[in-house]
């Protein structure tokens, strides 16, 4: 299995069909001057060094 966001246990689809959020670490403060926090946005084909395969029931 390829180690990319699509197959990672921390990745959640969000917005466009090939976009999502990485939930590996805590959300980050918004840089837009609000009190919101945001999960890092990623693309389905991206990857990082902290990949963990998604468990399938």
pLDDT tens per residue across span 1-23: 899 999 999 999 988 999 999 99
Q: Is the pLDDT of residue 55 over 90?
A: no
Say what the pLDDT of residue 32 is.
80
Q: Is the pLDDT of residue 33 over 80?
A: no
Edge-to-edge strand order for the sheet containing 41-43? Answer: 11-13, 19-22, 41-43
The domains of the chain are located at: 1-25+40-57
């Amino acid at each position: 299995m390829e180690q990319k966001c699509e197959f990672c246990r921390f990745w959640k689809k969000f917005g466009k069909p090939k976009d999502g959020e990485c939930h590996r670490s805590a959300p980050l403060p918004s840089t837009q001057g609000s009190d919101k926090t945001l999960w890092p946005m990623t693309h389905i084909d991206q990857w990082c060094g902290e990949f963990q395969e998604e468990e399938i029931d």
